[in-house]
Chains A and B, each alone.
Chain A
Amino acid sequence: MDELLRRHLPESVVMALVTAVLTIPILGVRIHIENLQVTLEGDGTPVYIAMAVVFLVRLFRAPLSQITGMVRIDRLLPSSDWLTRYRTGLLAAMIVLALIWPFVASRGAVDIATLALIYVMLGLGLNIVVGFAGLLDLGYVAFYAVGAYSYALLNQHFGLSFWECLPISIVLAGATGCLLGFPVLRLRGDYLAIVTLGFGEIIRLLLNNLDELTGGPDGIGNIPKPTLFGLEFARRASTEGGVTFHDFFGLRYDGADTIIFLYLIALLLALFTLFVSNRLLRMPVGRAWEALREDEIACRSLGLNPTLIKLSAFSLGASFGGMAGAFFAARQGFINPESFTFIESAIVLAIVVLGGMGSQLGVILAAVALTALPEVARQFDEYRMLIFGLIMVLMMIWRPQGLLPATRPRMELPQ
């Protein structure tokens, strides 16, 4: 024990001092401005706490690592064999729960679940690009924006309904994906990441600056909600001769109907995304993505066109982004460029990384967890993005395959 202390003590002291340097200028001393008078406020507590924690952890790292070595995270989390066996059962249970949810949960809970489903769509869509094809897309939010603005603008200018705009949004976002992807997909992985980030920012800046078309920073409002075969969910029909849902069925108007209806649409769209991405994995293009991730040169030597195969992943992912965007615009009723910043791309990426790149089940659970948790623990709202960032780093260090690692369906030769 003495030996242990003597060996680790100097290093622990140094690390505690390093912690002091890292925390004093940010947490220890705060800038305080009052009446144009800048003063400084000192608060030693967070600094002392951080120093003490780092000091103790470094000092006792040997016994600590023994303890953490015994508690293997890998053993606590399901193994990939287990996942393969119960995958269908788990998915079915999740879908059943999702179907019952709106009829048992509160209005607020259903609303949050709708938001979570948007992130499920985005997560599954980005998962095609990042998880299946191994292309890091940091500008995924651009396609989300294209989908949202497509619906908002087509509705504003041509009066098209949500259901008419949904396929158009999907196609437009996919086409944007093709257009942006085609020239850049031959770039190496990390350059591609930065270029897509650039595209994401360019699109946001354009939305912000093309005031006449997009309304600039003020955005677009009064976007109508989806209808059920022409039946509106509102107290009164918005157009002359329009019929509302409660009038048609002779019910009393209830605001909760709208929320449940939106939730069910989101669920439908999320299930559609799940179905398609699930099929894609088993199709030739899914095999080609996997092959391309493993060895691009071998693929080329066999006649596969890498750019085209990557493009298919990129634009399919983009299409789902567009779909989520159109639904988002309909749910919010109002959009502006603020909803489409890099942070949004980063959140979706965090979902994919946390769930496990390529793992649909993992991505769904991560999307639900990362949208629901901040709502449940409101007091931690401020720390939400801090924790997201931390999760991304820690996942890369400890479990780069994600919480529920991907299990790719294998094509087998019957023997």
Chain B
Amino acid sequence: MSALLEVADLGMRFGGLQAVDGVGFTVERAQVFAIIGPNGAGKTTVFNCISGFYRPTSGWAMLEAQPIHNLSSHRIARLGLVRTFQNVRLFKNMTVVENLLVAQHTRLVTNLWSGLIKLPRYRRSERQALEKASFWLDKVGLLPYANREAGNLAYGQQRRLEIARCMITQPSLLLLDEPAAGLNPQETRELNTLITELRAQHGVSVLLIEHDMSLVMGISEQILVMENGRPIALGTPAQIRSDPKVIKAYLGEE
């Protein structure tokens, strides 16, 4: 069986700036993979390329042996690769449960006539969507807040809702862009548990960008280190911790 996600020689150039160059890695099924590196290393650009928001200027990416580097973002999402954003992007004026309903849009009965005259299969599809939403809200501990406006949730809750919104689309690969940013230590520990659970119970692979080293080292099986748009190291947490190049990049010359 082929790897879940394979990225090779990925490059992205904005005008005269080579933001990402020669990035390659492989994410296996049900694996947690992390990309780390200093600010401006090009990590988010890699995410944007893989999820179809940018079209990479060189290299390729394949999801389950299917090329995705030329697809638009919504098609990639339908293939099972969904992401969160560094600055949470919820539908803030919609309720928490509506956020989860929108995420299920592609799987619902959206036929105009069945909705206008409320055919049984339309009612069933809407009921199932609500059931599924309440399952995931329960999972991330937001069930009591289901009918609140998403914008009124606390920051940590918004982050969890964003993850639930991704998971409800039943992805095979979940991309998390700095999921622990702005969380307190307690919330970070909860996030750690959540990611582990998602992987164990739902078989999803997680690709994450993170600055919180305790989180990254604790849950990742593979880590890619980037600096100035280029990969400088790839390996298990233990290998990365002892890699001289990584130590240099993080601590500077001593």
In the complex, whether B169 has a CB less than 8 A from a CB of chain A is yes
**Which size bracket describes the interface of A in this complex?**
20 to 34
- Of B52, B94, B147, the residue contacting A290 (CB under 8 A) is B94
Interface contact B82-A291, CB-CB below 8 Å: no
Highest count of chain B CB atoms <10 Å: which of A302, A312, A411: A302
Is the Cβ of A288 less than 8 Å from the Cβ of B94?
no
| Residues in chain B near residue A285, CB distance under 8 A | 110, 112, 115
Q: Which residue of B lies closest to A412 (CB)?
A: B147
Q: How far is the CB of B126 from chain A (nearest CB, A)?
A: 8
Known: A301-B73, A305-B74. A294 touches B93 (CB 8 A): yes
Which partner residue on chain A sits nearest B166 by CB separation?
A302
Q: How far is the CA of A284 from the CA of B115 in the complex (A)?
A: 8
Please determine whether A301 and B102 come into contact, CB atoms closer than 8 angstroms. Answer: no
Instruction: Decide: A302 and B94 in contact? CB cutoff 8 A.
Output: no
Q: Which of B4-21 contact A (CB under 8 A)?
A: none
Complex interface: chain B residues within 8 A of A283 (CB)? 110, 115-116
**When the two chains form their complex, are residues A300 and B73 in contact, meaning their CB atoms are under 8 A apart?**
yes
Contacts A299-B102, A301-B51, A411-B101 given; indicate if A290 touches B77 (C-beta within 8 A): no
What is the minimal beta-carbon distance from B140 to any residue of chain A, in angstroms? 14
Neighbouring B residues of A410 by C-beta, 8 Å = 95, 98, 147
Q: Which of A288, A295, A303, A411 contacts B82 (CB 8 A)?
A: A303
Q: Check B106 against A276 for contact (C-beta < 8 Å).
A: no
Q: Determine how close the nearest CB of chain B comes to the CB of A330; give it in whole angstroms.
A: 25
How many A-B contacts are there with CB distance less than 8 Å?
Answer: 108
Are A301 and B83 in contact, CB atoms less than 8 angstroms apart?
Answer: yes
Considering only residues 253-299 of chain A, those with a C-beta below 8 Å from chain B are 276, 279-280, 283-285, 287-288, 290-291, 294-295, 297-299
Contact A297/B115 with A306-B74, A413-B146 known, Cβ cut-off 8 Å = no
Closest to A411 in B: B98
Q: Does A37 contact B (CB under 8 A)?
A: no
User: In the bound complex, do residue A415 and residue B147 qualify as a contact, i.e. CB atoms below 8 Å apart?
Assistant: yes
Query: B95 contacts A302, CB within 8 Å?
Result: no
For B83, list chain A residues within 8 Å (CB).
Answer: 301
Which residues of chain B come closer than 8 Å to A370, judged between CB atoms? none
Contact partner of A413 among B85, B91, B92, B97, CB < 8 A?
A: B97
C-beta contact mask, A394-415 vs B, less than 8 Å → 1, else 0? 0000000000000000111101
> Closest Cβ of chain A: how far from B175's Cβ, in Å?
9
| B106 A287 Cβ-Cβ under 8 A | no
Bound CA–CA A279/B74 (angstroms): 26
Quote the shortest CB–CB distance from B51 to chain A (angstroms). Answer: 7
Query: Quick check: is B192 within 8 A (CB to CB) of the other chain?
Result: no
Q: Are A413 and B77 in contact, CB atoms less than 8 angstroms apart?
A: no
How far is the CB of A415 from the nearest CB of chain B, in Å? 7
Q: Across the interface, do B91 and A290 meet the contact criterion of CB distance under 8 Å?
A: yes
Query: Which residues on B sit within 8 Å (CB–CB) of A13?
Result: none
A297 is contacted by which of B53, B75, B126 (Cβ under 8 Å)? B53
- In angstroms, Cα B102 to Cα A300, docked, is 11
With A and B bound together, what is the CA distance between A415 and B52 in angstroms? 38
Residues of A within 8 A of B105 (CB): 284, 287-288, 302-304
Is there contact, CB below 8 Å, between B169 and A302?
A: yes
Q: Hey, which chain A residues are within 8 Å of B73, CB to CB? A: 300-301
Query: What is the distance, in angstroms, from A124's C-beta to the closest C-beta of chain B?
Result: 15
Residues from chain B with a CB closer than 8 A to the CB of A312 are: 112
Q: Is B103 an interface residue (CB 8 A)?
A: yes
Residues from chain B with a CB closer than 8 A to the CB of A304 are 74, 102, 105-106
Q: Which listed residue, B101, B166, B169, touches A284 by the CB 8 Å rule?
A: B101
Report chain A residues within 8 Å CB of B95.
410-412
Contact partner of A276 among B75, B90, B110, B116, CB < 8 A?
A: B116
Q: Is B133 an interface residue (CB 8 A)?
A: yes
Q: Specify which chain A residues have a CB less than 8 angstroms from the CB of B241 in the assembled complex.
A: none
Cα distance A280–B144 when bound, in Å? 28
Interface residues of B in 118-152 (CB under 8 A from A): 126, 130, 133-134, 137, 144, 146-147
Is the pair B110, A298 in contact by a Cβ cutoff of 8 Å? Answer: no
- Tell me whether A413 and B134 are in contact (CB under 8 A): yes
Q: Is the CB of A287 within 8 A of B101?
A: yes
User: Is B89 in the interface zone, CB < 8 Å from A?
Assistant: yes
A300 touches B91 (CB 8 A): no
A192 and B97 CA atoms in complex are apart in Å by: 31
Contact A291/B97 with A300-B77, A306-B74, A412-B147 known, Cβ cut-off 8 Å: no
Closest chain B residue, CB of each to CB of A291: B102
Distance from B91 Cβ to chain A, minimum over Cβ atoms (Å): 5
Ranked 6 nearest A-B pairs via Cβ: A303-B77, A283-B115, A413-B146, A298-B89, A300-B73, A303-B78
18 A-B residue pairings within 8 Å (CB atoms): A279-B116, A287-B94, A287-B102, A290-B91, A291-B94, A295-B91, A300-B52, A300-B77, A301-B51, A302-B169, A303-B75, A303-B78, A303-B106, A304-B74, A412-B146, A413-B97, A413-B146, A415-B144
Binding site for B on A (CB under 8 A): 276, 279-280, 283-285, 287-288, 290-291, 294-295, 297-306, 312, 410-413, 415
Given pairs A294-B93, A295-B90, 11 additional interface contacts (CB within 8 A)? A276-B116, A284-B109, A297-B53, A299-B102, A301-B85, A302-B74, A302-B103, A304-B102, A312-B112, A413-B130, A413-B134
